[in-house]
Chain A
Amino acid sequence: MFGYYLDLAVRSLKRNKVLTALMVIAIAVGIGASMTTLTVMHLLSGDPLPSKSGVLFYPQVDADPTTDFSHKDPVDVMDYHSAVDLWAAHRADRQALIVDSQLKVRAPETSLPPLMEMMLSTTSDFFPMFDVPFQYGSSWQPQDDEKHARVAVISADLNDKLFGGANSVGRTLQLRDTDVRIVGVLKPWRPSPQFYMVAGGRFAHGQTADFYSKPEDVFTPFTSGLEINDGNFWQFTCWHMPDKPGHLQDAPCEWIRLWVELNGAAKVADYRRFVAGYAEQQKALGRITHAENTRLRSLMQWLDYNGVVPSDVRLQTWLAFAFLAICLFNTVGLLLAKFLRRSGEIGVRRALGASRAAVFAQCLVEAGMIGLLGGIGGWLLTLAGLWLVRRQPAVYADMAHLDVSMFLVTFALAIATSLLAGLLPALRACQLAPGLQLKTL
């Protein structure tokens, strides 16, 4: 029976090509617009590390002793002492200190001009904790962190730029005026967002596109990085002026991030108690005053708290769906016209014994067919739309591609939309009284 309905649908669509084309275009344009924005939304609001996001946590301590600012939430990053103390306690399964800075990078063996690159100074757990993929070599060892070793891991991008993509492990890189040995080269790695650096979203007024920047190009041990680029570290914020700008180890400033991996609810509860206990102890020592103000958010909670999806992207998604709604109303109207125009034909089918359900099903098959055609058009328009997005000046533009799941969603949404549009007209069509229609023939 389904095959017969399909045949009927094709015939009916062929009969009035203009009306069919209008409906297919309406669905295609609506689907194209909403799938383009939905794909961008999917890309920006997704889980950057699906396999591990549940076990990654972001501890916060409020070290600002002043009382003139709001202490509703601790500042987004930590001061050197709190961060390093929490890290050094090694109470989590894995823990990584993080700070970034800009510095001059050269490859002494090449004649390329010096580059200004972002350097991430972190501890060895960073790579296994965030599942960072390596192309050559590996991470440095925990003892390198202790020994302030002059080693570095570089990104695939920088390796291409400086060494033409060859295995550069063991070669020398000049960071500012310090020579470091390359121990690892990453595979192309582009988490969306660059989750480990996210902070300050609540001050961004929705302009959060920068959270989707590329990861840094140079990674060095935390201790080594602080020495190599001393004088060039900038604070997230300070509660008093630092004595030596750019050198913040003892400054009243917040500038270091700490991430921890905690496997299991018991460990999370333990760690929460540990952070609270640490804050209490520091309060007893007189270093901090807002000891109760500690947090331990999971990765996804932290991204949520920072409202990482830029407000413009959310606005575009709403717009696209409002547009899809208009296309939907349009299609309902046109389908109604189409089905009711065939009242005579439907009357004959009913008179010959077709049940209401059969007429209803036939109408829906026809609507679904339009949805399928609209889906193909919508898929092509989505590809075109994403091409336009990639030409936009946003930092996440290079990531806008249609993956398999969104490809399937395109067709699912197109057919669902057309079936929804067909529901009312089909209901109307199957309620026609056959006698009345036959009389007019």
Chain B
Amino acid sequence: MQIHPILAALRRHRLATLLIAMEVALACAVLCNACFMIANRIALMHVESGVDETSLATVQLTGYEDSHAVDLNARVLSGLRSIPGMQSVTVLNSIPFGARRGTAGITLDAAAQHFGGVVEFYVGGPGSLQALGVHVIAGRGPQADDFQAFTGLMPSDASVQITHSLAEHLWPGVDPLGKEFWLDKMHYRVVGVIDHLVRPDPPGWPENSKDWSIFVPAQPGKLLAGSYLLRADPRDVPRVLRDARAMIAKVAPDAVFDQEGSQTLSDLRATCFRQDRAMAGILVGVIVALLLVTALGIVGLASFWVQQRRRQIGIRRAIGATRGDILRYFQTENFLIVSFGIALGMVLAFALNVMLMKFYELPHLPLYYLPIGALVLWALGQLAVLGPALRAAAVPPVVATRSV
């Protein structure tokens, strides 16, 4: 296949060639970045929670008086624990992907000079950390005498477990066991490290801080009530939650059952990321529409060129070119135009990524997206040009002998 005559022909159609190439370039830039954003959203949606989501559900109660809280806890715990199939019911203030009740900034010294970061305090009653199913990778879990009564918003001096990523952030490269930190005047000591425990609201936090959680053991009471963690066999969880709703109506008619907040953890996770899922869906829609429009553009212009060159095709056929030669001519021509577009598109994709990074906290576009985008567009171009090229190959040699 000689490329020279194709280039010569394209030079005569500079404007149309440039237009298709520009279209391919823009498509390439948007395609690469949109795919990258989809991958990012999917990665976000699959954030590691560190807990046994499939075995867990939560019941959230509101509308009761603080003075009734202790009594309410007792009624609810005994009521829910009597449900068949329930493995454990514990009190926990915040729930992964659900209620958020313990976000606060900590300091690394009593004088509050060294700010540590904004973290999530999971304050839970006996058994709640085990019920979550997190893994303690260093030190120890909470012991019976760690669970103290509230002295304010929380127990004011406690032995706590913190996540590995928070430990790395607060004391990089140092053994965190035995380290101390403060929340205003309240003082905490690290006795255990857990591998993962996600914040209740991971979408709102930068990538490196989604896992900054602290577990504070505490005795349920006035300010630790109304938020329950239910654990059951994964197959029983939906049924157990339904039974729990009926049980609450019986044992706690004075409280309001929070329908939206009381869900299985799997459902809470789905709700938590629905915006990201919707956005990923929109991006997929954009990509499909984009490829379709680009393909239509190529079909339209290729058809026009085939019709315009009918006589020339006829002449070539008459002087010995095979149908395959004609087919390959148009395929090669398309390949050249698309390649030119892709070359331009890579630069555009990179520029677009730099812009997105500036406004949307996106990471760098990994380079392997570029060849993938190129392959997709080459395939699309060949597919789009196939119809018009076959029509061109079908032009009979006798056309050459007609005047128009």
Residues of chain A at the chain B interface (Cβ within 8 Å): 19, 22-23, 25-26, 29-30, 33, 66, 68-69, 102-104, 113-116, 177, 204-207, 209, 231, 240-243, 245-246, 311-312, 314-316, 319-320, 322-323, 325-327, 329-330, 332-334, 336-338, 340-341, 392-394, 424, 428
Contacts and interface: CB of A to CB of B under 8 A. Distances in A.
Nearest to A209: B275
Contact of A22 (B256, B300, B360): B300
16 contacts: A19-B303, A68-B113, A114-B256, A205-B361, A206-B360, A240-B185, A241-B184, A315-B356, A326-B26, A330-B23, A332-B19, A333-B16, A334-B297, A337-B16, A340-B304, A394-B275
B23 A26 contact: no
Given A19-B300, A330-B297, 6 more contacts: A114-B63, A241-B152, A241-B185, A315-B356, A329-B23, A337-B303
B294 interface: yes
Interface in B264-318: 271, 274-275, 278-279, 282-283, 286, 289-290, 293-294, 296-297, 299-301, 303-305, 307-308
Interface in B88-103: none
B219 interface: no
A140 B278 CA distance: 43
Most buried by B among A22, A231, A326: A326
B293 A327 contact: yes
A336 B305 CA distance: 11
B27 interface: yes
Contacts, number: 142
B205 A205 contact: yes
A428 B15 contact: yes
A104 B27 CA distance: 54
Most chain B Cβ neighbours within 10 Å, of A204, A337, A428: A337
A333 B14 CA distance: 11
Contacts of B296: 22, 25-26, 330
Contacts of A330: 23, 293-294, 296-297, 300
A102 B63 CA distance: 9
B115 interface: yes
B186 A333 contact: no
Contacts of B305: 337
Contact of B256 (A29, A68, A116): A116
B184 A115 contact: no
B22 interface: yes
Contacts of B107: 68
Nearest 5 A/B pairs, CB to CB: A337-B304, A330-B297, A104-B63, A329-B23, A333-B19
Nearest to B356: A315
B30 A322 contact: yes
Contact of A33 (B26, B65, B286, B361): B286
A241 B185 CA distance: 8
Nearest to B20: A333
A338 B348 CA distance: 29
B256 A334 contact: no
A393 B279 CA distance: 11
A311 B29 CA distance: 20
B246 interface: no
Nearest to B362: A315
Contacts of A246: 66
B366 interface: no
B307 A66 contact: no
Contact of B289 (A33, A103, A207, A312): A33
Contacts of B115: 68-69
Contact of B283 (A240, A319, A327): A319
B204 A326 contact: no
Nearest to B355: A318
A360 B167 CA distance: 71
B16 A336 contact: yes
A205 B26 contact: no
Nearest to A237: B105
B342 to A, nearest CB: 15
B66 A231 contact: yes
Contacts of B279: 312, 315-316
B9 interface: no
B42 interface: no
A322 B112 CA distance: 49
A116 B63 contact: yes
Contact of B278 (A23, A245, A392): A392
B356 to A, nearest CB: 8
Contacts of A209: 275
A360 to B, nearest CB: 16
A333 B301 contact: yes
Contacts of B113: 68
Given A319-B30, A323-B30, A341 B307 contact: yes
Nearest to A204: B204
A329 B21 CA distance: 9
A431 B203 CA distance: 57
A390 B289 CA distance: 21
Name, among B183, B206, B359, the residue most crowded by chain A CB atoms within 10 Å (CB to CB). B359
A294 B186 CA distance: 31
Contact of B19 (A68, A336, A394): A336
B300 A312 contact: no
Given A240-B184, A323-B30, A323-B289, A68 B301 contact: no
Nearest to A19: B300
Nearest to B15: A336
B62 interface: yes
A22 B115 CA distance: 61
Contacts of A243: 152
A341 B30 contact: no
Contact of B186 (A19, A30, A104, A241): A241
Among B256, B274, B297, max chain A CB count under 10 A is at B297
B151 to A, nearest CB: 10
A115 B62 CA distance: 10
Contacts of A336: 15-16, 19
Contacts of B166: none
A326 B30 contact: yes
Interface string B338-364: 000000000000000000100111000
A245 B153 contact: yes
Given A326-B26, A393-B278, A319 B204 contact: no
Contacts of B203: 207
Nearest to B204: A207
Contact of A393 (B16, B23, B274): B274
Contacts of A103: 63
B22 A337 contact: no
Contacts of B325: none
Contacts of B29: 322
Contact of A29 (B20, B26, B293): B293
B112 A68 contact: yes
Nearest to B23: A329
